[in-house]
Amino acid sequence: MTNKSVYVTSPDGLGGKSAIALCLIEALSRQMDSVGVFRPMVRDDNDEVAKALLAHSGIDQTYEETIGVLTDAALDDPEAALSEIISKYGALQDRFDTVVVVGSDYIGAASPTELAFNARVAANLNSPVLLVVSGRDRTPEEVAASVEHATKQFEDLHNHVIGVIANRVDPVSIDQVRAELGTLGLSFCAALPENELLRAPSVRAQFRALGAKFLMGDESALDRESLGTVVAGMTLPNVLTRLEPECSIVTASDRTDLLPGLLAAHSSDSFPNLAAIFLTGGYPLPDSIRKLLDGLKVQVPIGLVQRGTFWTAS
């Protein structure tokens, strides 16, 4: 196969490679007429990374075209899975000027096997590899060691590692990380600082994960990020002192007496904005409270969760 792609992958989970891939798609979309995306291996048929990539305005393809095989299938029969991945990628390669391939997510006991399989896939697609390594809770030396180990694994399977990005690095040590990476002899090295906003889930993702029923609020606010969680199990004065910017409030659905005060705080310049409010336990809003809130033109998304407070906050 001719070289028309880049394989964005990581030796560990939660490194932020999907965010790096989106940045790469944005840059390539400005330089080329067409850019495709491909996920050779995903956990299930509802891959959030693929959906995020497809949401980019420069991408024009279906979800089905984007996905190779399921992880379980790849681990059960690697040869058959590899053949299917190559076939599906070939169809995309013929349509686009370049394809950004985003490797799997390394979650669970099968992670070492996944890394080796990703290396095989990259080699068979003839895709140069861009490594994304997590710098979170790692010293500069540990980041460099992770890069060195991953680079060797990919090169041992005849891949060309074109560069590395250390992501989520402690801003205090970012210059040291860059210096350590510079000693590894790679063509391109970069280090990006930890950014709480980039790793924060969207309110929509929280609703989906909790199975929450949307009760009221501004639906466009579902696409905002939630930067934290505050459990409101005390009286309003004590809750107010614990509010944090763009946090999601978790409180029992039979404590609706807190809602007017929380919404007033959200509208006040004296308190931080809220991301969402989740009412736990499944009790419906009393008619009197709903009537009151309807008159307030609530902007904060409010959701009803059937399960308890501890499970929801966790």
Question: Is the CB of residue 201 less than 8 Å from the CB of residue 222?
Answer: no
Question: Is the CB of residue 60 less than 8 Å from the CB of residue 36?
Answer: no
Q: 220: closest CA among 300, 304, 277?
A: 300
Say whether both 129 and 102 belong to one domain. Answer: yes
How far is it, in rounded angstroms, from Cα 19 to Cα 22?
5
Per-residue pLDDT of the chain (314 residues; tens, 9 = 90+): 445 899 999 988 778 899 899 999 999 999 999 999 999 999 999 898 999 899 999 999 999 999 999 998 998 999 999 999 999 999 999 899 999 999 987 765 446 688 899 999 999 999 999 999 999 899 999 999 999 999 999 999 999 999 999 999 999 999 999 999 999 999 999 999 987 766 778 899 999 999 999 999 999 999 899 999 999 999 999 999 999 999 999 999 999 999 999 999 999 999 999 999 999 999 999 999 999 999 988 999 999 999 999 999 98
Say whether both 178 and 254 belong to one domain. Answer: no
CATH classification of the domain holding 112: 3.40.50.300
The residue out of 199, 220, 247 marking a domain boundary is: 199
- Provide the sign of the torsion angle of the four alpha carbons 198, 233, 314, 212, taken in this order: negative
Beta bridge partners of 6: 100
Beta bridge partners of 252: 280
Say whether both 15 and 141 belong to one domain. Answer: yes
Say whether both 183 and 220 belong to one domain. Answer: no
Q: How many domains does the chain have?
A: 2
CATH classification of the domain holding 209: 3.40.1390.20
Question: Is the CB of residue 119 less than 8 Å from the CB of residue 157?
Answer: yes
How far is it, in rounded angstroms, from Cα 258 to Cα 192?
40
Supply the range of the domain harboring residue 101: 5-199
The residue out of 199, 216, 236 marking a domain boundary is: 199
What is the DSSP-derived secondary structure letter of residue 285?
Answer: P
What values do phi and psi take at 39, rounded to 5? -115, 100
Say whether both 110 and 215 belong to one domain. Answer: no
Q: For the chain, how big is the Rg over CA atoms in Å?
A: 23
Q: Which amino acid is at 176?
A: Q
Residue 314, classified by CB atoms within 10 Å of its CB into exposed (0-12), middle (13-18) or buried (19+), is: exposed
Say whether both 24 and 144 belong to one domain. Answer: yes
> 0.85 cut: is pTM over it?
no
Say whether both 80 and 219 belong to one domain. Answer: no
Say whether both 144 and 233 belong to one domain. Answer: no
Helices (H), 202-268: 203-210, 236-240, 259-267
254-277 b/e (C-beta count within 10 Å ≥ 16 → b)? ebbebbebbbebbeeeebebbbbb
